[in-house]
C-alpha cells in the first residue's frame, strides 16, 4: 500500500467543504499504485520546482470541461486530460506522498500568476520540507 498523508490545512479544507478525506486518500493511492493513465479521476501529472507536483483532477464545477475530460478518457488520451482543478502533492520517496492542497475549479491555473507568488512559495516550501525531512505540517 502506498503511504499517503494530508497536510492539516487540507484536512480542515476538506472537513469544511464536506469532501471525504478517505475518498481522496484512497483514489490518490490507487492512482499512484497503477499506470498513470489507468485512473479516471487523475489526468496530466506535472513535476515542479522544489518537489512540488500537481496533477490535474477531474473537473468538478465546469461541465463543458468535464465532457471534454470524458471524451479524452474514452480515447485513452491521458496527457490531454487537463483541468483547472489540481491536487498539489510532494513525492517524498521513502516518506511516501504528501497531498498538500486541493485547488477547485475554476482557479487552479491562477497559482502560476505573479499575484499568487507567495502562495506558490509556501507550497514549494512544504513540499521541500516533506521531501527532505518527512515533515507534515
**Per-residue confidence in pLDDT tens, the chain, 137 aa:** 689 999 999 999 999 999 999 999 999 999 999 876 678 999 999 998 899 999 999 999 999 999 999 999 999 887 789 999 999 999 999 999 999 999 999 999 999 999 999 999 999 999 999 999 999 99
Evaluate whether residue 137 is within a structural domain. no
User: In Å, what is the CA distance from 33 to each residue of 58, 117, 120?
Assistant: 18, 32, 27
Give the pLDDT score at 1: 64
Evaluate whether residue 90 is within a structural domain. yes
Helices (H), the chain: 8-17, 21-33, 63-75, 117-133
Domain of 21 in residue numbering reads as: 4-132
Give the pLDDT score at 88: 98
Evaluate whether residue 126 is within a structural domain. yes
Domain count, the chain: 1
Grid coordinates of 52? 512540488
Evaluate whether residue 27 is within a structural domain. yes
Evaluate whether residue 66 is within a structural domain. yes
Amino acid at each position: 500500500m502506498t503511504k499517503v498523508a494530508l497536510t492539516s490545512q487540507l484536512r480542515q479544507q476538506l472537513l469544511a467543504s464536506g469532501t471525504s478525506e478517505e475518498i481522496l486518500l484512497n483514489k490518490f493511492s490507487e492512482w499512484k499504485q497503477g499506470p498513470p493513465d489507468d485512473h479516471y479521476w487523475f489526468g496530466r501529472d506535472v513535476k515542479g520546482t522544489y518537489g512540488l507536483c500537481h496533477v490535474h483532477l477531474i473537473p468538478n464545477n465546469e461541465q463543458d470541461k468535464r465532457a471534454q475530460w470524458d471524451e479524452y478518457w474514452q480515447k485513452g488520451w491521458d496527457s490531454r486530460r487537463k483541468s483547472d482543478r489540481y491536487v498539489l502533492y510532494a513525492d517524498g520517496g521513502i516518506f511516501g506522498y504528501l497531498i498538500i492542497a486541493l485547488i477547485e475549479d475554476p482557479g487552479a491555473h491562477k497559482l502560476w500568476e505573479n499575484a499568487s507568488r507567495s502562495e506558490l512559495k509556501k507550497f514549494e516550501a512544504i513540499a521541500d520540507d516533506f521531501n527532505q525531512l518527512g515533515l507534515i505540517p
